[in-house]
Structure formats: C-alpha cells, structure tokens
Structure 1
Amino acid sequence: MIERQIKEQVVKNLTYFPVVGIVGPRQVGKTTLSKIIQKNLNIPSLHLDLELDDDLYKLQNPQTYLQMHAEKCIIIDEIQRLPSLFPLLRALIDQDRRPARFIILGSASPEMIRHSSESLAGRIAYSELTPFSLLELQSTTIQQSTHWFLGGFPSALLAPSPDFSRIWLQNFIYTFIEKDIRLLGYDISIPTMDRLLKMLAHLHSAILNVSDISRSLGVSIPTVNKYLDLLEGGFLIRRLQPYFVNLGKRLVKTPKMYIRDTGILHSLASIPSYEALYANPLIGASWEGYVIEQIYRCVEPRSWNLYYYRTQVGAEVDLVLISPSGKMTCIEIKNTNTPKLSKGFHQCINDLQPHFQYVITPSSELLITAEGVIICSLLQFLKIELPKIT
C-alpha cells in the first residue's frame, strides 16, 4: 500500500470540522483512502457509494436515513451525483456540529464546489487527492522515468503491461468526456471537447491563446473558455498564471496551460513509449509540466503562490514560487543533466531579485554556480531543497 501524503491532513481535519471533503479526478484513489481512514476512526462509520443503485436507493428519503445513523461518521462517495444533499447536510450539521460527522468524496469539482460553498461554508475542509506524486513512490521500486511517462493514476501506473496502461488512459479520457462532464448537467459537444483535448496536448506548456483555439475549433471564445473551465475543474488541466509587477517592462500577462497528468498528456499526443517520447518534440514541454505538477503536489496551494515570468522580448523563468513567508524562488526546468543557462534567465533573475535560484534537471548532482544558481535533480529539490525555501 502506497501511503498518500494528504492522509494526515484529512485525519487532522476530522478532529475539528463536521464535514471533510476529498476531491480529485475519477480513479485517483479517493475511495481507497477513505476506507483506510474509516478503519482508523474511533467512532462507528458508514460508507455510501452513490454509483451503486442500492446505496442511492437508501437515500430516497435522505433526511430519515441520515438521522437514523446520526451517531456515525457517514462517508458519501461520488456526492456530485446527488447535489440536493448539500442543503440537508448543512441543516443536520447545524443541529449537531460534532467533528467528523461526514466525509464526502467527489470526482468532478465545479458543481460540487459551488453547492458546498453555498451550503457548507464554515463547516467543511477540503483536501485534493492527486494522482501518485513522485515523493509518494519513494517506498516503491517505480522509477521516475516510468512515473513521468505513465503518469500517477494508480490503474495506469500499476498496470501489468504497457498495453493495459495505454488502454486504461484512453478509456479514462473517453469516460471523462462522455460521462463525468455530462453527469454534472453540462451540455457539451463531445467531438469538440475531444478535439480540444488533443489540441491542448500539443499546446502543453505554451502560452494560452484562446482566440487561436476558437478559430481552429470553429467555436466561440466563450465556448472555449467554458470548456477550459470544465477541464480545469475536472482536474485535467492547470492554467499557470503569469507573475507581473511594475518593473518598467512589457510583460506577458496570459496564462500558460498544462495537462496535469503526463500519462494523460502522452496518451492524447499518441506517444506509445518512453523511448518514443525522447524522439518527440513534446519532450521538453512534457518534462517542464511534470516538474511543475510535482512541485504543486508538495506545497499547500492556499499558502503558496506559483507563477511563470516572461517578458515581451522572450526572457522567461519557468516557475516563480512565492512561499507563505513571502520568499521568492525562481526555477528553470531543463531536461538535461548538463544545463546551460540562457541570457534570458539571467535577465529575469536581475529583474526579480529572488531569494533563491534553481535549475531542476532529471538526475544531476547538486551544483552551485558562481552566480549562486543551484542546479539539482527533481528528487533532490522536492526532498531537500523545497523545505529550505519556505
């Protein structure tokens, strides 16, 4: 069993909040994590999976049923299938605000977050369960290269053969488009969403130009923005915002786009193997997105701020980290263990004057340049360097 990083946070939240939410994409391990936590609860508990007809039937009269089990911690899986529960949960909690009354799990977040923020404000603490992170895999024999290529979804990463991984990833994408989005009540064009996803795979790590996407797809800009919101709310993409301050320079102020899981990225881009990735022009962008996502999974998103920085003349820093204490770290990401720093990187450092400067590579040994730039591997940064820059 691979220990999940957010487990401790969820358990801690259960000691104070009446409701604890675990959100994340489908098949990421939310149910498995909830059952592990359930075994260690010191109170009686009950698990309801709303994808099972029998459990859904139990909630035909939800108030009566939930009040029958008021002394238990009730775990409700795939709660977005029954959003009408949120106002009822609020009423039941206001009658008895004991900690750990409910654990709710949800796969697609936009509708779920909207309902919970209206109904459960001040009563709930959320944690996002991501696919396996690189740090979570340190107790296993899974290599960084395998994790990078296959991504972190358990069924893809732990499949007995590459063929099964490929099939699972293809089915995941199909299910997300065909089932998950529509289940939330969104009316989308399946062919358009499919084309958009494949287009985004080739725009991975690029500055997002919604107008160009709109023209290529033959749909309106509002439609493209709506679909991007759905993909981001469904945990498939991430829009990295630009960092800009009044530096007297013309700066890029448009977000960059990343497909969060590199296994999904490589599936959409029809890259069949790790060896084929090295012959693909997408490799640099893929590595950049992989590093950024692993860093996201190691920091508290409500306390840290992550950006990129780019001037209109093309000088760029791949990642700007602002710690909870306000310290700035500039990071360049290179898919080589012998990186050469560009003039543009040094210009950005001069502009921003960060507290720390790093170049992250796949597996190079720690090295500090004459200019004070620390060159290290991704694993070295996550395990040793990241705690130093808070």
Structure 2
Amino acid sequence: MPEANLFPRRAQAMACEALADTRVVVVNGARQVGKSTLARLIADDADNARQLYLDDPAILASAEEDPISFVRHDGLLLIDEIQRAPRLLLPIKHEVDKDPRAGRYLLTGSARLLGLRDLPDALPGRTETIELWPLSQGEIDNAPDGFVDHVFTHDVDTTMRSCPLRKHDYVDRALRGGYPEAVRRDPGRRRNRFFDSYITDLITRDVRQISDIERPAQMRRLLSVIAARMGGLTVVQSIAGDVGLPRMTLSRYLDLLELVFVIKRIPAWSSNLTRRAISTPKLLVTDTGLAGRLIGMSPERARDVTAPVGPLLENFAISEVARQLTWANEPVQLFHYRDRDKVEVDILLEHASGEVIGVEIKAAETVRSDDFRGLRHLAARLGSRFRAGFVLYTGEQSLAFGGNLRALPMASLWTLGGTAED
C-alpha cells in the first residue's frame, strides 16, 4: 500500500517519545486498527531495527522453539502480535534487566496483555503501553482532535464559526467507523463485507485465541444485542436473558470482548455530593461502523425519521472522547452519570484537579433549555468544581445557555484545539 494512502496516527509520535526513555513499548489495540503499520513505520525509521511478525508460521515456530535466542538483538526489535507467543515475555524481561537501554523492544498485540490467560510476569515497571483505537475523526480529516484538552484549558468561544455538518453527515461518519480498511472502502456492499468478515474473524480467531468459548453462536448473538444496547447500562441479568446465556458465562464473554477491544465499559461517577448516583457502567462499542452493521443500520435506513440513530450518535461521540484521552495532555478520566431519579449526563470528564466537565449528546439539529437538565443538576451539586457543561448536537451554531453552559456542534469534538481556536 502506498505510504500516501496511510492515515497519520497520533500514537506514532507517542510511541517514538516513549521509546526514547522506556525499554519496552507496547502498542495494544483491536485487530485491523493499524498496529502493524504503525510499528513498521517506526521501525523503518530506526537504525539497526529488526522486524518479526508472528502471523508468519515460520517466525512463530522459531519463537516457540527458541524464545531466548529469538528476542536477542542489539537495536530496536519489533515483535508484532506478541499475544501469539506469550513465552517471549520472560526472555524479554531478562534481556532488558541485563541491558536497561531505552528503546529495546516495540511490541504490538490485539488483546490487553495483562489480561491474557497464562501470561507470565508481563514486564512490570519496564513498559509503556499505548492503546490504539480505530481512527478518530481528526485523524481522518487532519483536524486538531483537541476537545478534551481545550475545554479544560480555555473558555470556549460561542462566536466560533458555524459548522457545515448536519445530522445525516454525522450518521454517515458513525456508520463509516474508524477501521482504516473500512474507511477506504465505498459505503454499501464493500464496506459491509469488511464488517461481516471482521465479525467472523473476531469470533473464530481472536476470542478463541485467548479463551475457549463453548457457544460461538451465542457470542455472535451477544455482539448484536450489545450493539442494539450501545450507550445503555450494563445490566448483566437483562443482557443474559436476551442472549440466552447463564449470567456467569455472559460476564466472562463481556470480559473477553473488552479484552479484544470490541467493547469498553464506561464507569459510573459519584461523589459524596451525589450520593444518589448509581454505580452501573455503560456499554460502549469501540467502533460505530461495526455496531451499525450489527444492528442492520444503513445510511438509507437512517434517513427514516423513526430510525434509532440517537444511541448510534451517542456512542460515536463518546468514542471520540475516549480516543482523545489516549493522547490528551490533561490528566482526565471518563465517566457517565445517572442517579436514582434518572437524571443523567452522557459524558462526565473529571480532571485530576477535581474539576468536572459534563457533556450531553443530542441527535437533534435543534437544542432546547431542557436539554441542559442533567448538566444543571450537576452544576448545582458540584459548585465550583463544575467547570462547564456542553450539549453537543447536530445543528450548525454555537450557542450560550447561561453561565458556563454551551451548545456546540458535535464536530467540536475534533475541530476544537487548533491554532485558530487558541
């Protein structure tokens, strides 16, 4: 593939920075998000680098036969898909303890290494892990992708220029998803074929590589049920009933899907100022293109006013924020908020300083005062800790709604943070 067709990844600069002072750097993420390409680009630019790809049967056999010799190299050693040969990790640990130079190993994996069954010590204190998500909108559009940092360091100007995107544009972006191969393909049949193959490979290869699953058909059904519930609470008993799985089996399957980066559970937020908050996490599908295919949503169907695009766009927006947190400068954690009176806020960002920003997601092209109900609830309880509240909607204007409350076009997620905004 020509280099000109590659999307720039923010993780590349992060990985290079980490290799300058860390012995082992791990790039972790779902299949098909571009880990191997990213690692290859880094290794191609390094002096005396060696590249070993464990999806090659001969190379994998060598790793399993003689792991100690396999990991010896004077320069940077790239080992792709390290989860295929977890026995390599102890020899790597031995090597970096004996020679603690920075930039010794660049590893990639399609599962969270610390969660892998039978994994040894996993190199504590010797590694930095960089999580690679599907492409962000900013990576696709070459836009700043700086919402999280910007809202904690700036007062957002509501006189910023209007946004040309409309609801159908956001839906199209959500259904496109962020897997590079899917983004490059034409919408419709060819993109759908990618998603269908992805689902099959996920169940037959990725999940089974790390755990025996007794009921692969139910795993496929579970994926569809999760997609239909995206953005909803993770009520295990209810999901188990829909899928027809015992509760303990369902919990294990959810753990597996999170392990291979297909879903992410967003924890609930509470404090002593909000004691009526519930503690149930929300379920996020990490790629809305995949989720849309699982529920049979298409751009044509989405044009119907009765189509359930609200959860799709909510999942889309939360996913963009989650991506940004992997490279944000500000120390921020992502939560959702809901209390027993069903007052909720879709995104709650808590800074290490204690400051909080709330974000509501609306699929409508208009915004009303009542859309700020949950944000006002948080503001009243948190007082000075509440920095600002935003409603992200599919309209074109940036609008003030009193005090530190603003309505912003959803595209602010990836357009804020550039030089022009600063």
TM-score when normalising by structure 2: 0.84
C-alpha separation in 2, matches of 1:117 and 1:376: 47
Contact 1:291-1:333 within 8 A present in 2 as well: yes
Return the match for 1:352 from 360, 368, 382: 382
Change (3 A) 1:117 1:146: farther
Per-residue deviation, residues 150-173 of structure 1 (Å, max 9, x unmatched): 100011111145211101001101
Aligned residue type for 2:381: D
Could you tell me which residue of structure 1 aligns to residue 76 of structure 2? 73
Contact 1:106-1:112 within 8 A present in 2 as well: no
Return the structure number with greater relative CO, CA threshold 8 A, min gap 6.
Answer: 2
Per-residue deviation, residues 100-153 of structure 1 (Å, max 9, x unmatched): 11111101225666777823111111001111101111239x975543111000
Could you tell me which residue of structure 2 aligns to residue 84 of structure 1? 87
Contact 1:182-1:188 within 8 A present in 2 as well: no
Does residue 258 (structure 1) correspond to residue 262 (structure 2)? The answer is no
C-alpha separation in 1, matches of 2:126 and 2:113: 19
Contact 1:361-1:378 within 8 A present in 2 as well: yes
Could you tell me which residue of structure 1 aligns to residue 60 of structure 2? 56
Aligned residue type for 1:349: A
C-alpha separation in 2, matches of 1:298 and 1:266: 22
How far 1:370 sits from its partner (Å)? 2.5
Could you tell me which residue of structure 2 aligns to residue 107 of structure 1? 110
Aligned residue type for 1:275: E
Return the match for 2:22 from 3, 17, 22: 17
Could you tell me which residue of structure 2 aligns to residue 231 of structure 1? 257
C-alpha separation in 1, matches of 2:60 and 2:43: 20
Contact 2:285-2:291 within 8 A present in 1 as well: yes
C-alpha separation in 2, matches of 1:214 and 1:86: 36
Change (3 A) 1:223 1:370: same
Per-residue deviation, residues 11-56 of structure 1 (Å, max 9, x unmatched): 0000111111001111111111111111221x20111111111222
Could you tell me which residue of structure 2 aligns to residue 364 of structure 1? 396
C-alpha separation in 2, matches of 1:198 and 1:162: 19
Change (3 A) 1:294 1:253: same
Does residue 150 (structure 1) correspond to residue 150 (structure 2)? The answer is no
Could you tell me which residue of structure 2 aligns to residue 275 of structure 1? 300
Moved more, 90-99 or 279-288: 279-288
Does residue 377 (structure 1) correspond to residue 409 (structure 2)? The answer is yes
Moved more, 216-225 or 310-319: 216-225
C-alpha separation in 2, matches of 1:188 and 1:144: 38
Return the match for 2:369 from 341, 354, 364: 341
C-alpha separation in 1, matches of 2:410 and 2:120: 36
Aligned to 2:324, the other structure's residue is in SS state coil
C-alpha separation in 1, matches of 2:369 and 2:197: 40
Moved more, 275-284 or 330-339: 275-284
**% identity of equivalent residues:** 26
Aligned residue runs from structure 1 range 292-311, under 5 A = 292-300=318-326, 303-311=331-339
Does residue 192 (structure 1) correspond to residue 218 (structure 2)? The answer is yes
Aligned residue type for 2:365: N
Aligned to 1:319, the other structure's residue is in SS state strand
Moved more, 310-319 or 241-250: 241-250
Aligned length: 382
Structure 2 alignment gaps of length 5 or more: 1-5, 144-164
C-alpha separation in 2, matches of 1:120 and 1:78: 16
Aligned to 2:175, the other structure's residue is in SS state helix
Aligned to 1:156, the other structure's residue is in SS state helix
TM-score when normalising by structure 1: 0.91
Change (3 A) 1:153 1:248: closer
Structure 1 alignment gaps of length 5 or more: none
Per-residue deviation, residues 298-318 of structure 1 (Å, max 9, x unmatched): 124893211111121211111
Could you tell me which residue of structure 1 aligns to residue 245 of structure 2? 219
Per-residue deviation, residues 347-381 of structure 1 (Å, max 9, x unmatched): 33323331111111235222112343111123324
Contact 2:130-2:326 within 8 A present in 1 as well: no
C-alpha separation in 2, matches of 1:310 and 1:161: 36
Aligned residue type for 1:329: I
Contact 1:80-1:112 within 8 A present in 2 as well: no
Contact 1:21-1:104 within 8 A present in 2 as well: yes
Does residue 210 (structure 1) correspond to residue 236 (structure 2)? The answer is yes
Per-residue deviation, residues 261-315 of structure 1 (Å, max 9, x unmatched): 10011011011x2131243543101101111110111124893211111121211
Could you tell me which residue of structure 2 aligns to residue 121 of structure 1? 124
C-alpha separation in 1, matches of 2:115 and 2:274: 42
C-alpha separation in 1, matches of 2:174 and 2:222: 23
Moved more, 181-190 or 129-138: 181-190
| Cα-Cα RMSD | 2.4
Could you tell me which residue of structure 2 aligns to residue 319 of structure 1? 347
Change (3 A) 1:384 1:81: same
Change (3 A) 1:202 1:185: closer
Could you tell me which residue of structure 2 aligns to residue 47 of structure 1? 51
Aligned to 1:297, the other structure's residue is in SS state helix
